[in-house]
Structure 1
Amino acid sequence: MNTTPPEHPDDASVARAANSRLVRDFGLLIKSATRLEQRIDSALRRECGISHTMLEVLIRLCRAPGEEVSQRRLADDLTLTSSGTTRLVDRMEEAGLVRRVPSPDDRRVALVEPTPEGRTAFLRAAAVHAEVVEKYFVSPLEPKAYTHLTTALGEIDRALRGGGG
């Protein structure tokens, strides 16, 4: 398949490319995910006083109680930059949601753990998150279509994690 564009494409060729099924379908996925994330973030800020990204941190920290999670691991798991993670954890620490503790194995490493207030905020936020996801991600689909969608998304995720660039 030749993917090299012509040197001077005509308007019809450009319009065909811009309106291709792949461009439209991927755009729909991105727009839907972005709009859903915005709905979740707005509801969390309004009802819980935290952002969706803060909830993602709390989900990660609460998923396996007692697990030691470093800031570096948190950044990798959430696909954030190291400096972005530091700023986020700073804000969450100021809000009383998390605390940093030195690693018992390496004092240069800061571990992040939820505070009791963070666990309480997480439960409240998880309920708000579930309401929004149910309303806008689950309910619009028939159960069979929802299962098909989540199965397909899992397959896409596995393919992307597999590398194949």
Structure 2
Amino acid sequence: MNDDEAVRAARAAGSPLVRDFGLLISSATRLERRIDSALRRECGISHTMLEVLILLCRRSGEEVSQRQLADGLTLTSSGTTRLVDRMEEAGLVRRVPSPGDRRLALVEPTAEGRTAFLGAAAVHARVVEEYFVRPLAGDDYARLTGALAAIDRALREETG
């Protein structure tokens, strides 16, 4: 790489778009680590396990397949299978055969899983309030979540 390319590369790496996107990713990653750490310490479950329980409890009474969980969590099929295996061993979920398709395994929370979810949801809410909501002044939280929703919509429409 010649000197001109090195200067252009350094300028591109330090651009506001690269910096701002890096700030978003860094903040989200640090917040996720805080949530995961608090959940493991206080509830004995991971943040990803909580995400599974959120999906299952949000769709209470609906059939939820492992494939739907994988899609909702952006995990591979094998990663989802291993996660559900661990959660089943911990008594948080159970697999049941689909009445409409015997090849399909459905996942549902157990009573213990719903109880664990309620405790973990309180821990999650506390950490989110402390590190995601409280640092923002006035209407900044509403503007931030509105902007994130707009970005999410644009990305969903693009892949729709």
Same structural fold, with TM-score higher than 0.5 when normalized by the shorter chain: yes
- In the other structure, the counterpart of 2:20 is 25
Distance in 1 separating the partners of 2:4 and 2:74: 37
- In the other structure, the counterpart of 2:119 is 124
- Output the TM-score relative to the length of structure 1: 0.93
Asked if residue 46 in structure 1 is aligned to residue 41 in structure 2, the reply is yes
Distance in 2 separating the partners of 1:12 and 1:96: 57
1:11 Cα shift?
A: 2.5
- In the other structure, the counterpart of 2:90 is 95
1:57 Cα shift?
A: 0.1
Q: Secondary structure at the match of 1:163?
A: helix
- In the other structure, the counterpart of 1:3 is none
Distance in 2 separating the partners of 1:111 and 1:139: 38
Find 2:72's aligned residue among 62, 77, 94: 77
Amino acid at match of 2:83: L
- In the other structure, the counterpart of 2:58 is 63
CA displacement 1:87-121 (0-9 Å, x = unmatched): 00000000000000000101110000000000000
Find 1:158's aligned residue among 126, 147, 153: 153
Which structure 2 segments of 5+ residues have no match? none
Q: Percent identity?
A: 77
Which structure 1 segments of 5+ residues have no match? 1-5
The count of residues paired between Structure 1 and Structure 2 equals 160
After TM superposition, the runs of 4+ consecutive aligned structure 1 residues lying more than 6 A away are none
Q: Secondary structure at the match of 1:80?
A: coil
Find 1:140's aligned residue among 121, 135, 139: 135
Distance in 2 separating the partners of 1:161 and 1:92: 30
Distance in 1 separating the partners of 2:78 and 2:98: 19
Distance in 2 separating the partners of 1:76 and 1:108: 18
CA displacement 1:114-152 (0-9 Å, x = unmatched): 000000000000000000000000000023000000000
Q: Secondary structure at the match of 2:108?
A: strand
Provide the alpha-carbon RMSD of the alignment.
1.7
